[in-house]
Amino acid sequence: MTAVVIVGAQWGDEGKGKVVDIYTEAADMVVRYAGGPNAGHTLVVGGDRLVVRLIPSGILRPRSACLLGQGMVVDPETLSTEIAELERRGLLVDRDLLVSDRAHMILPYHVLVDTLREQGASAIGTTKRGVGPCYEDKAARVGIRMGALRDAARLRAGVEVALARWAPVIRSLGGGVPAADEVCAHVRRFEGSVVSRLTDTGARVDEAISAGRRVLFEGAQGALLDVDHGTYPFVTSSSAVAGGACTGAGVGPSRIDAVVGLTKAYTTRVGGGPFPTELEDDVGELIRRRGGEFGSVTGRPRRTGWLDLPALRYARRVNGLDGIALTKLDVLSGLSEVRVCVAYRTPAGETRDFPIDDLARAEPVYQTLPGWGPVDGARSLGDLPASARAYVDLVVRESGCPLFLLSVGPDRAATIVARDPWDIPRRAGG
Ligand code: GDP
């Protein structure tokens, strides 16, 4: 087994940091392939907390190379800050931290547009870090790629073209248009720490796979936020599904050996958009408090609700999941009963599918199970209380996704590994 994709199977924030950390213990290379500084992982280094937004969480493991792939959008300022923080902690000694020279650069005008839009009536709840406008420029073919940091004239020419396009938008939103000189001077402050790390990361990933090294592709956000497969238009601007690892890291589908989907034992969502199993009562509040469901980038309270199995089946399909890592089971401990959405009632009848294009008219059909007591001490499935075990079995059976990992607490030890994705044999012909 050499290439594993780990991907959010819900609306993001599924506890990726912990699970990626466990899987990267055996990885030689960790690659982020989509999104930008709108992701956020809290890393704990010797009791010291550090939030990384761009750099993969694999950075905590001394042996893994960390790559930022070409499907990402990178803010050079955020990247430089993260590099400095990691250097200060001695985490970048003798290791590769490489950035694709084809990843698109987030520039101050992207952040400005994102912020101004979020102040208006058309706000969708972005993290205001310029991610959406940067991907707009990429699709409009006026984006500036990280490689432009090597060439001041190219950078300047690109900024002028993009600014001319954004100026009317910025003005119409009530903002002031920055000067091209100002933008370039700002960005060039970060050249020193970034340029030496720029490379064709796709080639490096390909070499690593060919050499039989273990490569982990770390997805950002979750399948239901994917620009193609998510709850459009309340989605992110990039490919948050497993297929995004191919375009975003620069490898072909035959190179991927396994895909693991992450899901919490309940559901959360940040920002606007449909969320049929949402709880707006005391139970929802309890889950938010117990689960620490506040955005790691924005601090915003997350919306909370019951687990949605039709949504998980949908995530299985669009990602080709080989199985799931189920997290935060402990957060539901102590509830007298737990509900789980198993189907939807729609105007056309009951369905086990996720009616993603008509969620407003779909009503969840719940199954109610007895609750359970503490589970955070469980170290094998056999240690779980019977009702917790029944819940896990139901999720596995109804989603059609075998269990790879069960997380029963924030600590690393509070983890039950049912199956190791690195043990899956390499795909023939890959
Ligand atoms: P991520 O960005 O996908 O890692 O997700 P979050 O921003 O929601 O961060 C995960 C938070 O949940 C971190 O503080 C973890 O320590 C914590 N966490 C991860 N797994 C578990 C779990 O199984 N139980 C509990 N109670 N907390 C967990």
Note whether 143 and 161 are within 8 A (CB). no
Tokens of 378: 């469980």
Pick from 173, 199, 215, 223: which is nearest to 101 by CA?
Answer: 199
Distance CA 340, CA 327 (A): 15
- d(CA 269, ligand 1 centre) in Å: 14
Beta strands, E only, 232-271? 258-264, 267-269
Which of ligand 1's atoms lies nearest the C-alpha of 329? 23
Specify the pLDDT at position 40: 75
> Which are the contacts of 351, defined by CB distance < 8 A and separation ≥ 6?
310, 343, 344
Tokens of 232: 């459009």
Cα–Cα distances in Å, from 113 out to 57, 177, 238, 290? Answer: 29, 10, 18, 35
> Which are the contacts of 393, defined by CB distance < 8 A and separation ≥ 6?
none
Q: SS3 string of 111-171?
A: HHHHHHHHCCCCCCCCCCCCHHHHHHHHHCCCCCEHHHHHCHHHHHHHHHHHHHHHHHHHH
Specify the pLDDT at position 299: 80
Model's pTM, two decimal places?
A: 0.94
Distance CA 48, CA 408 (A): 23
Specify the pLDDT at position 262: 98
Dihedral of alpha carbons 410, 413, 419, 425, sign = positive
Pick from 102, 114, 204, 110: which is nearest to 149 by CA?
Answer: 102
User: Where do we find the tokens 């704990």?
Assistant: 44
Mutate to test the pocket of ligand 1, among 14, 18, 288 (most ligand atoms within 8 A of CB): 18
- d(CA 18, ligand 1 centre) in Å: 7
- d(CA 42, ligand 1 centre) in Å: 9
Which of ligand 1's atoms lies nearest the C-alpha of 295? 7
The reply to whether ligand 1 has any atom less than 6 angstroms from the CB of 53 is: no
Residue of 21, 41, 110, 137 with catalytic role: 41
- d(CA 413, ligand 1 centre) in Å: 13
Distance CA 208, CA 202 (A): 10
- Go through the domains of the chain in sequence order and give each one's CATH number: 3-97+200-423 (3.40.440.10), 104-196 (1.10.300.10)
DSSP 15-59: SHHHHHHHHHTT-SEEEE-SB-TT--EEEEETTEEEEESSS-GGG
Say whether 13 is catalytic. Answer: yes
Q: Phi, psi (5° rounding) for residue 49?
A: -90, 140
Q: Residue 38, Cα to own-chain centre: how many angstroms? A: 9
Cα–Cα distances in Å, from 279 out to 15, 223, 291, 300, 309? Answer: 20, 21, 14, 17, 16
Distance CA 310, CA 140 (A): 35
Distance CA 228, CA 65 (A): 30
- Long-range contacts: 344-348, Cβ < 8 Å, 24+? 344/276, 344/310
User: Where do we find the tokens 């009536």?
Assistant: 121
Specify the pLDDT at position 76: 97
The reply to whether ligand 1 has any atom less than 6 angstroms from the CB of 298 is: no
The reply to whether ligand 1 has any atom less than 6 angstroms from the CB of 295 is: no
Tokens of 429: 């012909």
Specify the pLDDT at position 61: 80
What is the radius of gyration, based on Cα positions, of the chain? Answer: 21
pLDDT tens over the chain, length 430 residues: 689 999 999 999 998 888 998 999 899 999 999 999 987 777 766 677 778 889 988 887 878 899 999 999 999 999 999 999 999 888 888 889 999 999 999 999 999 999 999 998 778 778 889 999 999 999 999 999 999 999 999 999 999 999 999 999 999 999 999 999 999 999 999 999 999 999 999 999 999 999 999 999 999 999 999 999 999 999 999 999 999 999 999 999 999 999 999 999 999 999 889 999 999 999 999 999 999 999 776 788 999 999 999 999 999 999 999 999 999 999 999 999 999 999 999 999 999 999 999 998 999 999 999 999 999 999 999 999 999 999 999 999 999 999 999 999 998 899 999 999 999 888 766 5
